[in-house]
Amino acid sequence: MLMLMSERGYRWIILIVAYICMLAFAFTLQFLPPILSLIIEDMKFTHTQAGLLMSLFALPTIFLSILAGSLSDRWGSLKVGGFSLILAIAGTLLFALGGSFVSISTGRVISGIGAATIAIVAAQMISQWFRGREVGTAMGIYNTAMPVGTIICYTSFGKIAYGLGWRIPIFISILVCLIGLVTLMVLYRPAPDNTGHGTIHKDEKSFGILSGLREIGLPIWLIGLCWMWFNAAFMSFSTFGPDFFVSKDYSITAAGFLVSLLMWGSLCMSPIIGRLVDKVNNHEIFIAAGGMISALAIYLITRVTNYIYPMILMSLSVAFIPAPVFSFPSKILKPQLMGLVFGILFTFSSLGMFLGPFAAGIVRDKTGSYETTFVFLSIIALMVPFTALVLRVLIKRRL
């Protein structure tokens, strides 16, 4: 009984491990936007090239996330997670030391492979350890790591870069990845196979990629589409938001602060939304609400002069989507499929992160207008509630 209680209590240690790993992902992804204006100026990049740097982070994971998730199911979170953090460190270091678009973009690709894989592994660990009990709450807490990392990057990296050079924030991001690697190596344990919660039975069937894909139903793919639309709109806005505000005569520090507001709503509300998802269980309703509010907020940016209010509105919308997306799979699928499922979800998010900023950069260069670019992003955000409505209809028909 004491061992049973110890295992149940250890899931919160696993949540801490996963949280720090997600912080590594957040820093690796988000160090770029706050210093993007300085990189554009120093390296003489176009906005399309700048957007491509953000997109290249996601490009390889479009093709590798499903494989990475399947490998994590087979080889375990420790091996795959440790290797992915080493890749994130190596790629980010190459970016920091790069002197051309080719070397910097290559580093971005390598770090993207590693960071996206560790995010898959972290979500997999939580879904296995919390399966059947408080998974929404755990995912709500876990998803505050992204806003915490983003807030730190957006509120401090611009100022640090102005004072010490734009490469220094990148070295700070490498340090966070190192902390994540040490934490994973020291504290990780596989999920127990002798409890009723988070159980992985050794005699249960394991799935290969093809058999796992056959086992996964249409709802997972629809959830993935919602996640793709959200990431396309959100990452595009967070990439170019600081440059937009700088173009409106805000300082780079003030611009970073405004965009960091996106994360405050998620930081405060994500655990609450996760708890509500556990209670209400209508994941698609929360996702649809987040998409609608996000689309409205992005559109309002093009129609107001005081940006604080639409930014606050957008920050609230961000809290509504991650927790229900990440907690949905464990409600309907076996734990042996969690790595593969989160690989699918990150494939969709990578598609959004790749296509969104790249397309937004093209729109900005072609039109010369951020207002037109943000209207384009609001249309993308509207696809979230539309897809969630299709999911809602599907679920109702299956009941």
Instruction: Please say whether the beta carbons of 159 and 374 come within 8 A.
Output: no
- pLDDT tier, 377 (very low <50, low <70, confident <90, very high otherwise): very high
Instruction: Please say whether the beta carbons of 95 and 111 come within 8 A.
Output: yes
CATH of the domain at 347: 1.20.1250.20
- pLDDT tier, 106 (very low <50, low <70, confident <90, very high otherwise): very high
Tell me, yes or no, whether 175 lies in a domain.
yes
pLDDT exceeds cutoff 90 at 18: yes
Tell me, yes or no, whether 22 lies in a domain.
yes
Tell me, yes or no, whether 201 lies in a domain.
no
pLDDT at position 211 is 61
What's the whole-number mean pLDDT along residues 317-341? 77
Q: How many domains does the chain have?
A: 1
Tell me, yes or no, whether 195 lies in a domain.
no
pLDDT at position 22 is 93
Residue 232: name the closest of 293, 148, 294 by CA: 294
In the 8-state DSSP scheme, what is residue 199?
-
Q: Nearest 5°: CA angle at 42, between 39 and 46?
A: 65
pLDDT at position 1 is 40
Share of the chain above pLDDT 70, in %: 89
Q: What pTM does this model have?
A: 0.71
What's the whole-number mean pLDDT along residues 271-287? 83
pLDDT exceeds cutoff 50 at 194: no
pLDDT at position 282 is 80
Dihedral angle of Cα 9, 77, 30, 311, to the nearest 10 degrees: -50
- pLDDT tier, 162 (very low <50, low <70, confident <90, very high otherwise): confident
Residue 360: name the closest of 36, 121, 1 by CA: 36
Backbone angle region of 206, left / alpha / beta, with phi > 0 → left and psi within -120 to 50 → alpha: beta
Tell me, yes or no, whether 122 lies in a domain.
yes
pLDDT exceeds cutoff 60 at 198: no
pLDDT at position 111 is 92
Tell me, yes or no, whether 200 lies in a domain.
no
- pLDDT tier, 199 (very low <50, low <70, confident <90, very high otherwise): very low
Whole domain around residue 65: which residue ranges? 2-189+208-398
Q: How far apart are CA 195 and CA 85, in angstroms?
A: 30
Tell me, yes or no, whether 197 lies in a domain.
no
Tell me, yes or no, whether 199 lies in a domain.
no
